[in-house]
Structure 1
Amino acid sequence: MTGAEHVIRMKRMTDLDDAPTVTARPALPSVPADAALADAIRVADAAARASGVRVRQVGSLAELDAVDRLFEAIWQPGKHPPVTTELMRAFGKAGNYVAAAFDGETLVGACVGFFAAPSHDALHSHIAGVSPDARARSVGFALKLHQRAWALAHGVSVVGWTFDPLVGRNAYFNLVKLGARPVEYLPNFYGPMRDALNSDDDTDRLLVHWHLTSPAARRAGEGRPAPVDVGTMRRQGVVTALAVSEGGEPVVGSLDGDTLLVAVPADVEALRAASPAVARRWRQALRDTLGVLLADGAHVAGFDRAGWYVVRRGSAAASGEGTAS
């Protein structure tokens, strides 16, 4: 595929004709006509078709108001919305990433990101959400693969974002289904967030980096993620740093070992509503285990869908788990 064909194909996928004119970011490198971009476009289109949605950039006030209403319905933030129409309008005008997924004419998901330092090579994906009515269709996966293709077309090689490490389904999505890797544990990163999802809990977050052309990202885009089998690891005697008691309480174990297992509760959001004190104990326990391990130079090597982080001592590069293409 030629460079011109890449540009034409990318324009069709993102429906740039439907988006408002944006101010180009200065000094962006030209889009390389390479196999990585072509592959990213292909898998993004396939994911959108499989989810039954059309993903495109949005920028009109009506569209951004619809995104704002979607985010408010998901987070129920009260007086403090997670992002405003005005801010999204400014992001889009400045050439940042503001996109939405549509089922016919109905907006069912959206994602917003902005360029981050180093300015020509990184994007921070600030917020993404999917309507509850569309969550069983992998719409979030389609949105993120669209973002990956868009980022590669704009000279970006790494996308970063944060997520709550206590939410197991998000850990699985980010680390396994997308192939992103945690780089830092951030205690109480946003301060109090009195919305329906955070329930006034401390806002500890994991910062992840998604190296867009890494083997992990490419396998994930093809629907071939690399899960881990914690059941086998536990039978082999791998050290448990944090476990779940029969009553759902956190049980802190040992931090000694080259490979360690760190558990999270089955549904921390339900736990916050039913037993806030237990949820707070989980927050502190995870901070004292996963947070301490990462601060000490360990890295997250994977996540088991049953609710376990696999943590290994040493850097990912030193253990052969780096992100090289």
Structure 2
Amino acid sequence: MNSTHVVAAAAAAERAALDAGVSVAELHDPDEILAACGLLDRIWRPQPGNPLITPELLRVFAHSGSYVVGVHRDGEMTGVCLGFLATAGLHSHIAGVAGSARGRNVGFAVKLHQRAWALARDITTVTWTFDPLVSRNAYFNLAKLGAVPSEYLADFYGTMHDEVNAGTETDRLLVRWELTGGSAVGAAAGTPLVVTYDTPGARTVVALDAKPDGRPAVGRLDGDTVLVRIPAEIEALRRTDPPLAREWRYALREVLGGLMEQGHAVTGFTRDGWYVIDKRQERTA
């Protein structure tokens, strides 16, 4: 690995943590491992007796060299992230931040720490999954970090019983983050990936939008650039109107999942809630 990349990544991670007012460090102490598991359970709220991950397993991950970190603010653990080695490089399996610390760029600090950690170990690719219906996560992953969707995974985890995922099928987007690529380097410098598109017309078409009543409306697929909208607040919609939330799940699976299955590339996500697909580019495998 080019030492310049490693040094620059470490400096960027340090700046991000300082800006967020947190420290990010690997966990090994059994008490900290126990606290990390407890924090994950408070965030996801699984059924009693069915923890998200056991302290024993998390300690094995940490001891065997996987990426297990805690985030601390003012001496209190406010975030946890777990990643492990995979075929592509490092797979970031779970990351959680306590509600009191959200909206303060803590997640960004964790990802830059993860990038620096990986590059220091000659790992140049990180993968992870996220729910493609959650707009803030789509923007964070695709725009702020510059990760690239590589696969649409329908109902990937099957039925889950924690309070965050209960009652909804677990579709996920698998993304790849090429750590020395231009988008990741730009992200580390604080420059998000901005995608632009033409006004819908002959070459730019809307494949999925919202009707006036909030229901999904499937549109055209015949342009060079295809726009796919998702709701701004799907999590609130799941609480207030679960059937409508499921409609959006199936519509997004059909449209975005279908376009990706055909090999088309998702080039980014806009601040106002659109996936942008360029049918002239092939999806990254």
Q: Does 1:159 align with 2:159?
A: no
1:315 positional shift: 3.6
Q: Does 1:174 align with 2:144?
A: no
- For 1:305 and 1:87, locate their aligned partners in 2 and report how far apart those are by CA, in whole Å: 38
1:248 positional shift: 1.5
* Structure 1 residues not aligned, in runs of 5+: 1-31
- For 1:293 and 1:243, locate their aligned partners in 2 and report how far apart those are by CA, in whole Å: 15
1:33 positional shift: 5.1
Amino acid at match of 2:84: F
Amino acid at match of 1:202: E
- 8 A Cα contact 2:92 2:127, kept in partner: yes
- 8 A Cα contact 1:198 1:269, kept in partner: no
- 8 A Cα contact 2:263 2:282, kept in partner: no
Q: Give the TM-score normalised by structure 1.
A: 0.84
Partner in structure 2 of residue 101 of structure 1: 71
Q: Does 1:71 align with 2:40?
A: yes
CA 1:182 to 1:33, structure 2 compared with 1: closer, same or farther past 3 Å? Answer: closer
Q: Does 1:251 align with 2:221?
A: no
Among the aligned pairs, what percent are the same residue? Answer: 48
1:58 positional shift: 0.5
- 8 A Cα contact 1:189 1:203, kept in partner: yes
Q: Does 1:134 align with 2:101?
A: yes
- For 1:176 and 1:236, locate their aligned partners in 2 and report how far apart those are by CA, in whole Å: 26
Q: Give the TM-score normalised by structure 2.
A: 0.95
Q: Does 1:268 align with 2:234?
A: yes
For residues 284-307 of structure 1, what are the alpha-carbon distances to aligned partners after superposition, in whole Å with 9 as ceiling and x for unaligned?
000000000000010110101111
1:308 positional shift: 0.6
1:184 positional shift: 0.2
The partner residue of 2:256 within 263, 285, 290 is 290
SS in structure 2 at match of 1:313: strand
Where in structure 2 are the equivalents of 1:1-325 lying within 5 Å?
32=1, 34-79=3-48, 80-117=50-87, 122-229=89-196, 233-234=199-200, 238-316=204-282
1:237 positional shift: 6.6
1:87 positional shift: 1.4
1:110 positional shift: 1.2
- For 1:309 and 1:33, locate their aligned partners in 2 and report how far apart those are by CA, in whole Å: 34
Higher strand content, 1 or 2: 2
- 8 A Cα contact 1:199 1:272, kept in partner: no
Aligned positions, number: 284
For residues 220-244 of structure 1, what are the alpha-carbon distances to aligned partners after superposition, in whole Å with 9 as ceiling and x for unaligned?
11001122245x5448872000001
- For 2:154 and 2:199, locate their aligned partners in 1 and report how far apart those are by CA, in whole Å: 28
- 8 A Cα contact 2:207 2:227, kept in partner: yes
Instruction: List 4+ stretches of structure 1 deviating above 3 A.
Output: 232-237, 314-317
RMSD, aligned CA: 1.8
CA 1:132 to 1:123, structure 2 compared with 1: closer, same or farther past 3 Å? Answer: same
SS in structure 2 at match of 1:136: coil
SS in structure 2 at match of 1:175: helix
- For 2:56 and 2:143, locate their aligned partners in 1 and report how far apart those are by CA, in whole Å: 34
SS in structure 2 at match of 1:223: coil
* Structure 2 residues not aligned, in runs of 5+: none
- 8 A Cα contact 1:43 1:145, kept in partner: yes
For residues 182-241 of structure 1, what are the alpha-carbon distances to aligned partners after superposition, in whole Å with 9 as ceiling and x for unaligned?
0000000000112222232110000000000000000011001122245x5448872000
- For 1:251 and 1:64, locate their aligned partners in 2 and report how far apart those are by CA, in whole Å: 46
Between 45-54 and 192-201, report the one with greater CA deviation: 192-201
- For 2:171 and 2:72, locate their aligned partners in 1 and report how far apart those are by CA, in whole Å: 32
